Structure 1
Amino acid sequence: MGRDGSLDHHRDLIAMVRQEARKANRVIVLPESALGFWTPTLEKLWHAGLEGSEVSVIAGATIVDAQAYDNVMVAISADGARVLYRQRMPLPVSMWQPWLAWTGQGGGARGNFFANPAVELGGHRIAPLICYEQLILWPVLQSMIYAPEIVVATGNGWWTSGTSIVAVQKASAASWARLFDVPLIAAFNL
């Protein structure tokens, strides 16, 4: 997921979401990077693909500009799409590389450290956590201050084949949710 940016892949993903929605699932959560690069074309494709349904999709994507990129969760429905969440703490060194901006090179993921610790979707307050954020104290505590009704944790584990990284992330997210007595929805790709 996220490694195939073809329109056929996205059409298949939309069909899968619509199939799940028929099972009375009103919100479908897809993993980090599931949509790949979020562009106006993809936004229109997904919006049109969900037309006539009542499903909302929360999915991971990447938004790129000339200076850097944002690792995000987007919310998509028949009513439209919006960036729901921008990752606060990307993985240092491999994603978050602030020295690139300091040296005028650009690139790397932005860290939106104090932004959006809780977001609203359908009248519910959500604590979003992407990947590395599930393992460290700051994003979790910052989100819990806002008394979320649910934790939505996503991750991207295709590159971790043969390791326990995804299992550790899932256990960590479940532990945080249990500690703060907040339900958890998790979506990871492998």
Structure 2
Amino acid sequence: MFNKQHPLFLWFVWLYCALAGLAWGHLPGIWATAPALPLPILIPQLPRASRRFIAALIYFLVGSFSIVHGSTEFFGAGSGDGGGLADGMGLAAGMGWSFWIVSSILLALPWLIARNPLLGVLAVLIDALPPLGLIGWLSPLAGAGVLFPGMGIYGMALLLIVWGLWSVQRWGKWIAVESLAVALVANAIAVFSPLQGAIPTPTIDGWVGLQTHTGELVTPLQGVESAMRAGQMALAHPKAAVVVFPETIAGHWLPGTQAALYSEYQQRRNKAQIWLIGAVTIGKTHRWDSVLEYAPSVSKSGRIVARTALPVPISMWAPWANDRYGATWYEPVTKIGEQRVFTSICYDQALPWVWLEAVWQHPDVIIATSNVWWASKTDIPAIENENTAVWARLMGAGVVMARNG
């Protein structure tokens, strides 16, 4: 047996936490989430609360370092939704460093109580659920999709049970080890078999996600132009049943934008084709990061089929400020065509509590839309993709991704 008090064990845990954080955005596909799986078992082996806190802090600091560069780009843009909050790149950079450090400290705090794996599970849940869940990305809960594909809520329950069994004496540990080993070996055989190769993200026949590079939209005219370019891209897929546009690619959903895009939609050759368009809709008290549907029976104003559960805190969702984005908190599954669809918009893709809403509703299709021009040089788009792929795998759902990078 290892000596938990030995300095080498302490450094091993800290090093492992750093590598688990580094895996996000760097290992391929769903495997980026796998190294975090042992953390609720490993970190509680450290006997002192301060050492457990440092271990968790290392994990979150390393895994979320992209916040620094992403925030600098976003807040330093100087215009649009995110710019204007920070005047000058210096202040923007300071905000980025502050967000990175403060969010990591907050997410590490629950691990002070993680004296055993049961309390380690509690720490994971505290980080995953609001209020800390509002910034609670990089959750080990995502690993359920690695171990238990297609099992949905039952797979999530099994992961929590396996973690908790480690708190039981010898027989519990053996069951936990054997369960994790069998699941990992079975998945490794499936993923890396010569016939299959690396596991792909499941797709849906006839559904197409557009990949654009428009950048930030500042003026209404830019929104009209962006919408028309995206509409032309959609017309290049005449055989598609559904075409998914990136988040806010149409800018603010104003009459001019609606008329221009609806004109494009009427030119489609497949008259049954559906377009799902990312745009900012205007409510009485808030703006909404939305997805609208154009279908044969829908008017040019479109039908709102989804709104983001939680826009990015501070930059978009700020309850203390006027003219900011609203949060719906719960994202219901919507029937589109013949499929039950869960729509995950940008920041929602990083949040485990939003994915748990999807798991509970067991959709057929996951639509993942993002507008990540500000994060194109960071790991943030990759982390969103990894989360989407692994949670969809847990649900056995197909995925359609649409990105504006």
Question: In structure 2, what is the Cα distance between the partners aligned to 1:6 and 1:155?
Answer: 16
Which residue is equivalent to 1:126? Answer: 341
Describe how 1:24-39 pairs up with structure 2 within 5 A. Answer: 24-39=239-254
Structure 2 unpaired stretches of 5+:
1-213
Evaluate the alpha carbon distance shift between residue 186 and residue 6 of structure 1 in structure 2; reply closer, same or farther with a 3 A threshold: closer
Deviations 1:24-49 (A, max 9, x none): 11111111111111123322332332
Describe how 1:39-188 pairs up with structure 2 within 5 A. Answer: 39-51=254-266, 53-65=271-283, 67-80=285-298, 81-100=302-321, 106-114=322-330, 116-188=331-403
Evaluate the alpha carbon distance shift between residue 5 and residue 76 of structure 1 in structure 2; reply closer, same or farther with a 3 A threshold: farther
Residue 187 of structure 1: SS of its match in structure 2? strand
Residue 145 of structure 1: SS of its match in structure 2? helix
Amino acid at match of 1:140: W
Deviations 1:59-90 (A, max 9, x none): 21101346321000111134322111011111
Determine if contact 2:363/2:395 at 8 Å carries over to the other structure.
no
Evaluate the alpha carbon distance shift between residue 166 and residue 6 of structure 1 in structure 2; reply closer, same or farther with a 3 A threshold: closer
Amino acid at match of 1:72: S
Scaled by the length of structure 1, what TM-score is found? 0.87
Question: In structure 1, what is the Cα distance between the partners aligned to 2:391 and 2:246?
Answer: 19
Evaluate the alpha carbon distance shift between residue 110 and residue 6 of structure 1 in structure 2; reply closer, same or farther with a 3 A threshold: closer
Determine if contact 2:223/2:251 at 8 Å carries over to the other structure.
no
Which residue is equivalent to 2:146? Answer: none
Question: In structure 2, what is the Cα distance between the partners aligned to 1:9 and 1:69?
Answer: 19
Determine if contact 2:316/2:325 at 8 Å carries over to the other structure.
yes
Structure 1 unpaired stretches of 5+:
101-105
Residue 173 of structure 1: SS of its match in structure 2? helix
Question: In structure 2, what is the Cα distance between the partners aligned to 1:155 and 1:8?
Answer: 19
Deviations 1:114-148 (A, max 9, x none): 3x421111132101100111111111111222221
Larger radius of gyration: 2
From the two aligned structures, give the one with the greater helix fraction: 2
Question: In structure 2, what is the Cα distance between the partners aligned to 1:6 and 1:33?
Answer: 9
Which residue is equivalent to 2:232? Answer: 15
Counterpart among 218, 222, 242 of residue 5 in structure 1 = 222
Scaled by the length of structure 2, what TM-score is found? 0.42
Determine if contact 1:46/1:76 at 8 Å carries over to the other structure.
no
Question: In structure 2, what is the Cα distance between the partners aligned to 1:140 and 1:162?
Answer: 25
Residue 90 of structure 1: SS of its match in structure 2? coil
Greater Cα shift, 124-133 or 141-150: 141-150
Q: Percent identity?
A: 25
Residue 5 of structure 1: SS of its match in structure 2? helix
